[in-house]
A and B are shown apart, each in its own frame.
Chain A
């Protein structure tokens, strides 16, 4: 294998690993801010106990997000140095703003959030939580802005050495695919978190229907499904229409459309085959494709054959990743609707079928997120900056042996970190918020010791 292919594998692997954690920490940070706010407003202990419980899980997820993110910021240079050299005058500022406006904020106030109970008042502690949440969203803003410009680069020129130079920064930052993709990603993070919260709560309720924190947690999650999942369908649809305008090859690939024309069908299932330049088989609804993508059955849509073979993205993978994402999105909508009905008719905890469904759906947000990114990124191929810089031309002058070694290292280390991290998170979830810790138990530590912890920061209650 070439350094190019190995670098793509390594980048895809490390970034897919990374995105799992931001999806969780963006959502959890906001959730924690809401919980702490509710606690301050209502003084109900349930919210505090939920806060304490989810903070522990947040700390684990956040830590894994941070370390895997640091890896990415260097990999852009180690493996994609030509990409780095050419695009830095445009993307550099966006990533620099992510560091300056988001990472420092998150990292600094995370310490206060986890270890600060004894050191700051309640209001300031709440402010720290809110700042961390704000930081995660700011981070999403800048990184999605950078990625959106790569998906559809606008407002740039090239200088003598082939570097991209920005013309109008507002247009670069708010490039056409950015608003819908940022919205889609943030909603994805909220949904993913709601599913995890719902699953952990449902799991507790399967054992003890009356567990108070889990009853609250499950209801909050159902509220999120009901609100956010339909919204996500809508925003996803907008994102698809935007992509159809700006990246026709991507959309043709994810729909498995080969011939151009009007009244395109929608393939429910198919087997796109590049060698065949067509689908081996397909199960389709006629005309539906044009309507879904352009809102008009007579709309003209380009098929993959309109693009030179070398410029066609890998349709098969995208086709199924897309269907998995959308299918899961629909299931999430159903889970929300079902939950609301149960809620209105006496409480979701009465239906074991529902609780089990919520448990099974727990990890599905992560699956949908990774599928979504596969659609977005594989659909951009063979370009790294769509239409102007090919991935093959972006790779560093390094050897395949080097990338093999580092890829092997990542596989081993990430497999360890992921399985252990997942084990610890699942263990906490299985133990549940009831045993989390009775919050304010200050005895035992000298007052003003920064941490009664070293062992359990979650155990630190407010004074």
Chain B
């Protein structure tokens, strides 16, 4: 029996990126919301709500990059230089916001103010860069003989700007949802307000970006049933679950907000992300560099894929296990008085 290693790996990598987006998404979102907090005490609570887990969350980004390098080097070697500026900007922003977790605790007056701003600004810029990366990725990059052959600003377009705005709104929604789970009193109320605003923005941008995506690649329109001015219902129906999931997710957020639920808004936000993610998969499978390289063309050698897959069978369950353990240990509300002693 021989396993289809590249196929399995595309699943593994998709899972890693999805987990990254959901997990680091909420802590980047909390960072973006930082300037809107009423008081320094609220900010300390916001920080405390993510401090024990942010590093683990960001490790999924390392697995995304490292996994792409290990499993689909063809894609890694094309995408990273093609998206050079947004990738570098993201990294620099992540540096600033990452060290801010610790530096804020040690800064005196000016230092603390600076790292508070760095945390918020870094989170926002990282999220924007990731949105530009996403947009640039979806548009596709110029590939010749398996190597990147385009210019330094190819990723910049109205489309990628809208994608960046959308991702920021999505992260804010996740972040506000997370804060609703973790906070009480005034901050909880603020988080609810933020979530309400974010969900409207997400709905609007999601609708816009979906339409724009159909125009970016005729192939995508085709998969959704729009061929040369014609509409094929069966093709559309095969994929209809995806927009329905997104709509349900938005509904769950709104319902949760109305019912004063602490958990539903976050759960709804996750569903919206799942729907967007599934939309991407439906649009591009089997391509890892849209319409230029398939996952098979980009895959690493079989013996490399097999080796890591062997390790993964043991290590991934362990990682998921202790990740759950850590979240479970830090469950529950973060108290306001915890921030200042």
Contacts and interface: CB of A to CB of B under 8 A. Distances in A.
Interface string A81-98: 110110011101101111
A68 B99 CA distance: 10
Interface stretch (A29-37, A190-198, A381-389, A399-407): A399-407
Contacts of A60: 102-103, 106
Interface in A177-215: none
A76 interface: yes
A67 B311 contact: no
A396 B148 contact: yes
B68 to A, nearest CB: 8
A109 interface: yes
B241 interface: no
Given A396-B81, A453-B338, A406 B59 contact: no
B150 to A, nearest CB: 9
Nearest to B52: A111
B340 A74 contact: no
A131 B286 CA distance: 39
Interface string B309-341: 001100110010011001001101011011111
Interface in B66-88: 66-71, 73-74, 76-81, 84-85, 87-88
B234 to A, nearest CB: 40
A63 B102 contact: yes
Contacts of B69: 73, 76-77, 84, 88, 92, 95-96
B332 A163 contact: no
Contacts of A97: 308, 311
Nearest to B60: A104
Contacts, number: 276
Given A76-B69, A98-B66, A409-B88, A451 B338 contact: yes
A165 B301 CA distance: 7
A17 to B, nearest CB: 10
Interface stretch (A274-282, A348-356, A419-427): A419-427
Interface stretch (B41-49, B196-204, B256-264): B41-49
Contacts of B339: 454-455
A1 interface: no
Interface string B135-175: 00000000000111100100000000000000000000000
Contact of B88 (A68, A96, A406): A406
Interface in B106-154: 106-107, 111, 146-149, 152
A445 to B, nearest CB: 6
B66 A99 contact: yes
A406 B98 CA distance: 18
B30 interface: no
A451 B51 contact: yes
Interface in B27-73: 44-45, 47-48, 51-53, 55-56, 58-59, 61-63, 65-71, 73
Interface in A93-143: 93, 95-101, 103-112, 114-116, 119-120
B interface majority secondary structure: helix
Contacts of A68: 95
B212 to A, nearest CB: 27
Interface of A is mostly: helix
Q: Contact residue range for chain B?
A: 35 or more
Contacts of B79: 77
A65 B44 CA distance: 23
Contacts of B98: 63, 66-67, 70
Interface string B86-100: 011101101110110
A92 B87 contact: no
B244 interface: no
Contacts of B10: none
B105 interface: yes
B208 to A, nearest CB: 29
Contacts of B96: 413, 417
B56 A92 contact: no
A78 interface: yes
A64 interface: yes
B55 A107 contact: yes
Contacts of B275: none
A163 B315 CA distance: 27
A220 to B, nearest CB: 25
A455 B105 contact: yes
B106 A428 contact: yes
B117 to A, nearest CB: 13
B311 A74 contact: no
Nearest to B61: A70
Contact of A454 (B44, B77, B84): B44
Contact of A451 (B48, B70, B107, B152): B48
Contact of B58 (A66, A396, A455): A66
A169 interface: yes
Contact of B304 (A166, A421, A449): A166
Contact of A81 (B77, B95, B308, B334): B77
Contact of B66 (A66, A73, A427): A73
A88 B341 contact: no
Given A63-B99, A455-B44, A84 B77 contact: yes
Of B85, B312, B329, most A-chain CB atoms within 10 Å: B329
A296 to B, nearest CB: 41
B76 A84 contact: yes
Interface in A421-437: 421, 424, 427-428
A446 B301 CA distance: 55
Given A96-B67, A398-B84, A413-B95, A446 B337 contact: yes
Given A107-B59, A115-B330, A446-B335, A67 B66 contact: no
22 contacts: A60-B102, A63-B98, A64-B99, A66-B55, A70-B58, A73-B65, A74-B80, A88-B304, A89-B73, A93-B307, A95-B69, A96-B70, A97-B311, A100-B311, A103-B59, A115-B330, A119-B329, A166-B301, A169-B303, A424-B103, A451-B52, A457-B51
Interface of A: 59-60, 63-64, 66-71, 73-74, 76-79, 81-82, 84-85, 88-90, 92-93, 95-101, 103-112, 114-116, 119-120, 159, 161, 163, 165-166, 169, 396-399, 401-402, 405-406, 409-410, 413-414, 417, 420-421, 424, 427-428, 444-446, 448-457, 459
Q: Which 8 residue pairs across A and B have the least CB separation, nearest first?
A: A77-B80, A92-B70, A88-B73, A111-B52, A454-B44, A89-B301, A67-B98, A85-B77
Given A78-B84, A455-B105, 6 more contacts: A85-B147, A93-B304, A95-B66, A396-B84, A424-B102, A446-B338
